[in-house]
Amino acid sequence: MSARPARTRSANAGQLALELPLELPAIDIAPEWKAQQRLWGHSLHPMCSYLASFPAALTHAFIARYSRPGDVVLDPFSGRGTTPLQACAEGRIGVGNDLNPFAHLLTAAKVEPASRAAATTRLAQLRLAWNAERAGWIALAATVHQDPAAARVPTAGTATRPTDGVEPVPAEVAVAFHTTTLAQLLFVRTTLRLHDRTDRFLAAAITGILHGKSASYLSELMPNTFSMAPRYVRDFARRTHFASPERDVFDGLAAKLDRLFRQPPPRTEGIALLGDARDVAGRAREALRASGRPERVRLVVTSPPYLRVVKYGYYNWLRTWFLGFDARRIDDTLDDAHHRAPYLAFLREVLADLRPILADDAVLVLVIGDVETDRGRQIRGGIGLAERAFEQAAEPEGYRLAGVALDDVAAVRKMTKLWGDEAGRATKTDRILILGATEAGRRRALAAAPRDVDWTWPPQALRSL
């Protein structure tokens, strides 16, 4: 293990005091996750695209080093559930928490998935019900296409009839789909109940095929990565006379289920929590206790929101419409610490809250987006964010630093998805802070850093778990 600095100081003291990063020790963890295939890991991971999500291989690099089967692995900002799913797939108890109901749905669908049998049986039931009721839903979709502002459709999850309409369909939703596809979506959206495990799994799988640029998606109006701005979508559709080809929701879903179940769901189940990361500890402890699992967390692998907040509602408006969530409300609820000082205070609160549920030798892996510029404009306070996070959020709460690892390639790939290549490098480098909850945790982090990790997937040793 080396004690080389993560970044050398090359400027005078005045500049350093202003912006440049502090010198923190690097940790010798080879970034082997970068060398793995894009879809490395369990087949449930690519359920639905999600901005700034981890590659599963990155989480494996830390789960394999810093936890054992049966340990609790937590991500307080779980997004689409990469850490908890990969943890479950490796025989750990993966616990994910997110304040965004869409992220919570994806996490829950992965750590408490439907069985293949339950999912295919429910899909068959839906097809049968659709065949019996199709005329009414197609008539409703036709009225939506004629006049989206005037037509009224049932609310998501109410299991009501096409004639029980109460809410309009946004024009940009209507324009995205062929009439029959829209009719099927309206039927499925009304029928699926998100608190039911199997229905939630199917709903999450449908969000993953709603839009994208190939025949496996229900609309080709937008790329799969995120929903484009509604006004842009309306203008684009008008300008290009966009008419979506007919895509069958049930066939698309059946094909998606085949892809998701390429590997059997993990035998170890996890826990998905919905709420603020600042009070996750009590909720996690309660859920672990209620399910008879260990109450102490041995490993945290997480990526807090970026300094420049990604609008998870706005960039997923078509998916949130399908699920019956309010995109604007999601963005209002999510943390809005755009500036460094409140961001660091926020992170400190999260770390303070976590303390009581951490095992004495717990290790924390915090992937911090080191944002330098946003679409070419310099972001104040972005540089050296990881160092500040240690100095102003982790160290004052008693955490011990094992070292910093860099993840530059992954960061560029993640954020250019959102802002496009022409936007330049939105995120310069992700820095991975590796902390011990105590000195014992720090020592464990250092001792396991040089360990060899098995990148065979699924690994031989886990097949029997």
Residues of this chain that bind ligand SAM (CB under 6 A): 50, 52-54, 77-80, 82, 98-100, 103, 276-277, 303, 305, 312, 334-335
Q: Smallest distance, Å, CB 430 to ligand SAM? A: 10
Answer for the pair 53, 431: CB distance below 8 angstroms, yes or no.
no
Of 162 and 304, nearer to ligand SAM (C-beta) is 304
H or E segment and range at residue 109: helix 101-111
Read off φ and ψ for residue 306, nearest 5 degrees. Answer: -70, 160
Q: Smallest distance, Å, CB 289 to ligand SAM? A: 21
Please state, as a whole number, how many other Cβ atoms lie within 10 Å of the Cβ of residue 171: 16
Of 108 and 183, nearer to ligand SAM (C-beta) is 108
Q: Smallest distance, Å, CB 279 to ligand SAM? A: 9
H or E segment and range at residue 75: strand 72-75
Of 350 and 402, nearer to ligand SAM (C-beta) is 350
Of 79 and 154, nearer to ligand SAM (C-beta) is 79
Of 103 and 156, nearer to ligand SAM (C-beta) is 103
Q: Is 227 left (phi over 0), alpha (psi -120 to 50) or beta?
A: beta
Of 104 and 178, nearer to ligand SAM (C-beta) is 104
d(CA 190, CA 324): 9
Answer for the pair 84, 73: CB distance below 8 angstroms, yes or no.
yes
Q: Smallest distance, Å, CB 98 to ligand SAM? A: 5
Q: DSSP secondary structure string, 165-214?
A: --BPPPHHHHTTS-HHHHHHHHHHHHH--TTSHHHHHHHHHHHTTSB-SS
Instruction: Indicate the SS3 state at residue 274.
Output: strand
Q: Smallest distance, Å, CB 152 to ligand SAM? A: 31
d(CA 72, CA 260): 24
Of 71 and 276, nearer to ligand SAM (C-beta) is 276
The helix-helix angle for 280-290 and 340-354 (nearest 10°) equals 30
Answer for the pair 156, 286: CB distance below 8 angstroms, yes or no.
no
H helix intervals, 278-367: 280-290, 317-323, 327-333, 340-354
Q: Smallest distance, Å, CB 111 to ligand SAM? A: 13
Q: Smallest distance, Å, CB 268 to ligand SAM? A: 19
Q: Smallest distance, Å, CB 86 to ligand SAM? A: 9
The closest alpha carbon to 223, from 109, 316, 310, belongs to 316
Which amino acid does the sequence have at 231? R
DSSP designation for 375? T
Answer for the pair 407, 31: CB distance below 8 angstroms, yes or no.
yes
Q: Smallest distance, Å, CB 79 to ligand SAM? A: 2
Q: Smallest distance, Å, CB 185 to ligand SAM? A: 24
The residue nearest ligand SAM at its CB is: 79
Both tokens assigned to 37: 């295939």
Q: Smallest distance, Å, CB 329 to ligand SAM? A: 13
Instruction: Indicate the SS3 state at residue 259.
Output: helix
Q: DSSP secondary structure string, 26-41?
A: B-----GGGGS-TT-S
Instruction: Indicate the SS3 state at residue 303.
Output: coil
The closest alpha carbon to 389, from 312, 303, 449, belongs to 303
